[in-house]
Structure 1
Amino acid sequence: MKNTAVLVAAGLLALPLVATAQQQPAQQPPAQAEKPEKKDWDIRIGAGASYQPDYEGSDDYEVAPIPLLMINYKDIVFLRGPMLGANLFTLQGPREGDKLQIGPLLRYQMGRDEGDNDALRGLGDIDAGAEVGAFITYRAGPWSTGLTVFRDVTDAHDGLTAKASGGYMHKFGPKLRARTELYTTWADDNYTQTFFGITAAQARRSGLRQYTAEGGIKDVGLSLDLDYSLTENWGITGRLGYKRLLGDAADSPLVDGKGSADQFSTGLILSYRF
């Protein structure tokens, strides 16, 4: 966002020059400084690692690699890791930078392997798949809020999820900024049963009790991101996250007894911006 104080100060500094030009009509007034041209493409690549549960609901943690690819074209089409979207509708707010945006989404959904943890033995694998959805977001100054909805279209879990979030960004200076986000996720019966339920056949193979998981509020969470600019192009991002599983997800035998409803994560990424 533009800094209002900087613009005001620039205007005040320009006043004496304008006055001098008015007193000397034979001279041309100084040319106004042009704003930096905004690039059509904004591309960011990087890599890092995260420390996180080895499955959702686990109390065992693993180090996992994080490849980073973020592409934005004219604030219309964007790619953020496994998610592709488009801002089909944009409504500018009362201040510069304030905007309401609505559009479609396509996301790659990671599956789950029963070999990821001993607690999953006998449950079988959950295939990775594709989800289609939509989003609506609104940004006002440092504040933001949004809602995303996804539906599986590849028979991986046949479920529907919706995530509501609110965030705040604070700049500590020209190089360091922090972003916080509070969110909650709702999931339908199909999603919750796939990832947290235990069928009769799975119970016989795994030794876990049979369990039917119904839909509802699946979790609430909080994340903190710290971005630091090492140079004009290089940057480093650190993340801390906490999520609490709720409802039938938290009561699942995979979580209550075999795992934990408290889910922590942290990560570090080094990136380059073109």
Structure 2
Amino acid sequence: MTMPFTRACGPLAGSCLAACLALAAPAAPAQNFIGVGAAYVPEYEGSDEYEFKPVPLVRYERGNFFISRVAGAPALGLRWQLGGPWSGGVFAGLQDGRDADDYDRLKGLDDIDWHGVGGAFLRWSQGPLGFSVAYRQALKSGYGGILALDADYRLYQRGRSTVTLGVGTQWASSDAMDTYFGVSQRESQRSRAGLRPYEASSGFKSATVAATWTYGFDNGISTIATLGARTLLGDARDSPVTERRGGAFGMVGLSYAF
């Protein structure tokens, strides 16, 4: 499970960037790397306002230990080869929160606290094609869990250039969906934007497609560029919290392999 670790993207980092950043790696997949990028993304899931955010990029593996991104959340964990193209493991990490007062539409709603997560993943990879499934459970009562399904395919690799296509979807439990997209009766009464009460149920939350291009130099530095699109699904799509149901996003960065 070799996926970049991003932290400073705010609440959206675990959603629309999860699929594209999973591909933002140097051409040599076994290498560890560290880097930084800049992403142009919505301010929060469902926002119609965009902003630039810094994106730290880190991948580290030593034996079974890794630091990476799993199921859209930064994590550290243990990974094992299960035979043939299969690998799997367990992980623990942190998921960032959301300060409602930072966004005009969300003022009056409850904040979402930073919280720990834990889970497990399974990956199949052979040649240019890979599939992964991972589940992360919030270690905070009422925050629920997320199931992430992702696929990636290396479309092109010649010389120093690699182009990879990724698609992914996320399923959210009722607690997770309601945490990010629900509006309680009490929150509705306090809402500055007059949001109606809304109870979000479990279901598929989002779908993402992205293409990532990397170019490696002799000194271990690689350039990374990602362009993608993402749409909300189900109760997330219909939530009064949601201003825009889908849109494009992008990221550019530099990494150093070691």
50, 53, 57: which is aligned to 2:39? 50
1:138 corresponds to 2:124: yes
Deviation at 1:184, TM superposition (A): 1.2
Secondary structure of 1:88's counterpart equals: strand
Give the secondary-structure state (helix, strand or coil) at the position aligned to 1:195. helix
Q: Which residue number corresponds to residue 200 of structure 1?
A: 185
Contact 1:42 1:73 (8 Å CA) reproduced: no
The separation in 1 between residues aligned to 2:81 and 2:32, in whole angstroms, is 22
**Residue 187 of structure 1 aligns to which amino acid in structure 2?**
A
- Asked if 1:71 is matched to 2:60, the reply is yes
- Aligned pair count reads 223
Q: Relative to total residues, which structure has the larger strand share, 1 or 2?
A: 2
**Which residue identity does 2:124 align to in structure 1?**
Y
Structure 1: gaps (5+ residues): 1-40, 93-98
Q: 2-side partners of 1:62 and 1:68: how far apart?
A: 19
Structure 1 length normalisation: TM-score? 0.78
Question: Which one-letter code corresponds to 1:269 in the other structure?
Answer: G
2:80 aligns with 88
Q: Distance in 2 between matches of 1:86 and 1:174?
A: 32
Once the two structures are TM-superposed, the CA of residue 42 in structure 1 deviates from its matched residue by 4.1
CA contact (8 A) 1:54 1:116 kept: no
Normalising by structure 2, we get a TM-score of: 0.82
Aligned-partner residue type, residue 172 of structure 1: Q
Residue in 2 that maps onto 1:216: 203
Match for residue 106 of structure 1? 92
1:182 aligned counterpart, secondary structure: strand
Matched letter for residue 196 of structure 2? R
Structure 2, unpaired ranges of 5+: 1-29
Query: Any runs of at least 4 consecutive aligned residues in structure 1 with deviations exceeding 4 A, and if so which?
Result: none
- Counterpart in the other structure of 1:163: 148
Q: Map of 1:119-130 to 2, 5 A cutoff?
A: 119-130=105-116
User: What amino acid maps onto 2:112 in structure 1?
Assistant: I
| Residue identity in the other structure for 1:119 | R
1:60-118 per-residue CA deviation (whole Å, 9 max, x = no partner) reads 101101112211113x22112522132134312xxxxxx20011022321211113320
User: Would the aligned equivalents of 2:109 and 2:190 in 1 still touch at CA under 8 Å?
Assistant: yes
Question: How many Å apart are 1:215 and its aligned residue?
Answer: 0.7
Q: CA RMSD in A?
A: 1.5
- Within the alignment, does 1:230 sit opposite 2:217 as a pair? yes
**Which residue does the alignment assign to 1:181?**
166
Question: Is the 1:57–1:263 Cα contact (8 Å) retained in structure 2?
Answer: no
Q: Which of the pair has more CA radius of gyration?
A: 1
CA contact 2:101–2:108 (8 Å) conserved in 1? no
Instruction: Give the stretch that moved more between structures: 181-190 or 41-50.
Output: 41-50
